[in-house]
Structure 1
């Protein structure tokens, strides 16, 4: 070992795999950033003096005599208000042609939020998407995944959420983001005039896959600055967590770790939890809400990635293609927001819980009627009503391109009740029917 400008330099690597190197070194810390032949690497294991580093760009060309230089600290992000509107890579360096960042250096994998700083999440986070705001209402400080098929337009939907959400700042973390999607996000935000409230960390296909592992921590560090320091409501959008987990698997395999379920590393749960648990409602009013895309392999919800995610998060949002209307909808049966009870009917209109439940119950009856029809059974009048209702309900309130306020969603619900059903068929309390049934007549005329 030798030192240079207070840096520790080692030149005897004892083991090399396709993604990792081992070196004998003293004083190295887990998570510490290092360079091997000027390539960035990170310490992922320290056992006495045996240090394992993951080399983000791979180990091709590295020999046992290559220089290993330890930085003495984990990766950092320079935080300031100048982050707003910037597109950065996994190391927090600009990729948008703009100036280098200036600001306070913060470790990107800081400790979890002190419980005494946490408040109960109880503030509505409206997205403008009816299938979310009406049936699966989100609150600030919540963590929730989008479970999607790879061929669904999930990045377009995330962009819509970014533009519609009632948040002070949006942090986008893109992992393995195609160039088309990168340009789409950039153009969409620019044309909508919302760039000044968005910070983007992007890993593209030509970038080393292991750099994806830094993206969520970079995004959460930026979010913590705006939420904790600036007391703002911050929405973090991560896509795609399946590619993040695949990068974890690359490292685990190269370290000869025994794989767990579905060939995933045994650390998958703790790695995912370390990201999602950064969501928080601060006592002082700032918040971090996390919505993360997880693509499903052939729709398999039992795969280790969505399975572990479901144990950590507070619900899930499922997208599906509705063949009756030819659009992508938020599936009302498989989607769930476990924190919606904190706000519906309290921070939203009093009829919200009952309208939501009645609409979904009638939609379920329609699905039963559809099964009867497909199996050749005769339909009664109620079945026919439900089928007609279901198509308009999906078109007006479940399709992801519906952008209206929660008040308008509820008014649309009453309009659908009045158009297709008698009062006794909708199963809502009499006092609410008396108050809102007549009020919806003008809505019916408008529609």
Structure 2
């Protein structure tokens, strides 16, 4: 990070949690980058959160521990935090501030860009049209991810969302074109960070991955920077380098908790569940940076992962995320308890752009029909399951019993796969057919007769 400092201010009025209050300042702007020098000569960095007359509130990236206000100096750079961008990020492992932790040199690039970024102008957006295949059958068949889409994963504590995020980041491809992955981990334990690093080592070794890891014991302010740096790197790789980039961000709930902590330190009036009132716009400032831009090569596709506290989908973080994004992949405690991986709840999951990226000429001609029929059958099977609990299995019709068979076959014959298994889409669709053929032909009305004949439906 390059700093251009001319004047240092020594009037540090107060240290408040991660915040530094500097007095006597002039000409300082919001989001300005600050270089802080301690009495020992140690350098720290910060961002201006608020300016009120001659007072500036600075959030310190490395925290304020060990700082003496009387011996601390702050130099304002006159501009926002910037990071170098370019292909040098590929194959690198860095902390949440973009500093290498892989033993390599600092990441350099032909230009530096402000990490704040900006949402893609809706007028210049190109509609998504090509699939991003993850190698996870449940996602590729039922909630197909499309280039430029933002599709979150809703999980809960104890479910394997990190394993799924790492698997998607390790396996995802898109049409054989130049493809890269930027993985941003926020608030991870050291064990989780090591798991992500090991699971993505293969992709990093091929020069297709950038890994940013913010751990739970890192300063909370760093957690707010991690997704912004990840998106800044991805945007340059996509719109300047012509790559299709998948950005995986986990866990967005840890990000929101960091935002709440900083908001409380600033003394802001809290909103719902003590989160700041601007949580929606803050999340939107991240999610809306993905997409395709008319006249520019490449695309940025976003897969944010978040945990729902107590499994509550109405919690502010998943609730607001759902308003901004284009669907969701929901993980199920029930499926996880049955030993199924990935434990995707198919009936609660949705990809609103799936029809833009799947079907004839994009995946397989029968893809959309099979997905629609499978979801309809699962919905009917759930109703039959509830009926069986009321009246008993013996009172069900033969057709209803076939739906129960489908309900039992779906998790084992279609959903389940190994965490290291890269399942081709053709194999996943064939498995979906195998499950559907549990039903009699008369119940497969959403599938064309020629497809039923081709698969031997009776």
TM-score (normalised: structure 2): 0.89
* Equivalent residue in structure 2 for 1:330, among 333, 338, 344: 344
Higher mean C-alpha displacement, 72-81 vs 250-259: 72-81
Q: How does 1:150-299 map to 2 (within 5 A)?
A: 150-167=157-174, 168-191=179-202, 195-283=206-294, 284-299=296-311
Residue 228 of structure 1: how far off its partner (Å): 0.7
Could you tell me how far apart the structure 1 residues matched to 2:404 and 2:12 are? 68
Residue 356 of structure 1: how far off its partner (Å): 1.2
Match of 2:385 in 1: 370
Match of 1:95 in 2: 101
Could you tell me how far apart the structure 2 residues matched to 1:191 and 1:285 are? 26
* Equivalent residue in structure 2 for 1:349, among 358, 364, 367: 364
Contact 1:189–1:195 (CA under 8 A) maintained in structure 2: no
Q: Deviations over 1:276-295 (max 9, x none)?
A: 01111123341000101111
Contact 2:369–2:446 (CA under 8 A) maintained in structure 1: yes
Match of 1:404 in 2: 423
Residue 29 of structure 1: how far off its partner (Å): 1.9
Match of 2:20 in 1: 21
Residue 192 of structure 1: how far off its partner (Å): 5.9
Match of 2:443 in 1: 425
Residue 414 (structure 1) aligned with residue 457 (structure 2): no
Match of 2:326 in 1: 314
Could you tell me how far apart the structure 2 residues matched to 1:320 and 1:43 are? 41
Q: Deviations over 1:1-31 (max 9, x none)?
A: xxx9842211112333112122231121211
Change (3 A) 1:5 1:423: closer
Residue 134 (structure 1) aligned with residue 135 (structure 2): no
> What SS class does the counterpart of residue 254 from structure 2 fall into?
helix
TM-score (normalised: structure 1): 0.91
Higher mean C-alpha displacement, 373-382 vs 228-237: 373-382
Match of 1:113 in 2: 120
Residue 324 of structure 1: how far off its partner (Å): 8.0
Higher mean C-alpha displacement, 216-225 vs 360-369: 360-369
Residue 360 (structure 1) aligned with residue 365 (structure 2): no
Residue 304 (structure 1) aligned with residue 319 (structure 2): no
Could you tell me how far apart the structure 2 residues matched to 1:344 and 1:239 are? 26
Could you tell me how far apart the structure 2 residues matched to 1:183 and 1:337 are? 31
Contact 1:130–1:409 (CA under 8 A) maintained in structure 2: yes
Higher mean C-alpha displacement, 202-211 vs 343-352: 343-352
Residue 86 of structure 1: how far off its partner (Å): 0.3
> What SS class does the counterpart of residue 261 from structure 2 fall into?
helix
Contact 2:20–2:60 (CA under 8 A) maintained in structure 1: yes
- List, as ranges, runs of 4+ consecutive aligned residues in structure 1 with deviation greater than 6 Å: none
Match of 1:59 in 2: 64
Match of 1:71 in 2: 77
Contact 2:413–2:435 (CA under 8 A) maintained in structure 1: no
Residue 145 of structure 1: how far off its partner (Å): 1.0
Q: Deviations over 1:312-342 (max 9, x none)?
A: 1111110114168521322111111111121
Could you tell me how far apart the structure 1 residues matched to 2:81 and 2:414 are? 44
Cα RMSD of the aligned pairs, angstroms, is: 2.2
Question: Unpaired segments of 5 or more residues in structure 2?
Answer: none
> What SS class does the counterpart of residue 413 from structure 1 fall into?
helix
Contact 1:146–1:293 (CA under 8 A) maintained in structure 2: yes
Higher mean C-alpha displacement, 257-266 vs 74-83: 74-83
> What SS class does the counterpart of residue 305 from structure 2 fall into?
strand
Question: Unpaired segments of 5 or more residues in structure 1?
Answer: none
Give the number of aligned pairs: 436
Q: Deviations over 1:233-278 (max 9, x none)?
A: 0000001011101111111101111100011011111111110011
Residue 357 of structure 1: how far off its partner (Å): 1.6
Match of 2:10 in 1: 11
Q: Deviations over 1:115-154 (max 9, x none)?
A: 4542111111111212111111111001121110121111
> What SS class does the counterpart of residue 72 from structure 1 fall into?
strand
Change (3 A) 1:325 1:151: closer
Q: Deviations over 1:50-85 (max 9, x none)?
A: 211112333344344321222333222212222111
Contact 2:128–2:357 (CA under 8 A) maintained in structure 1: no
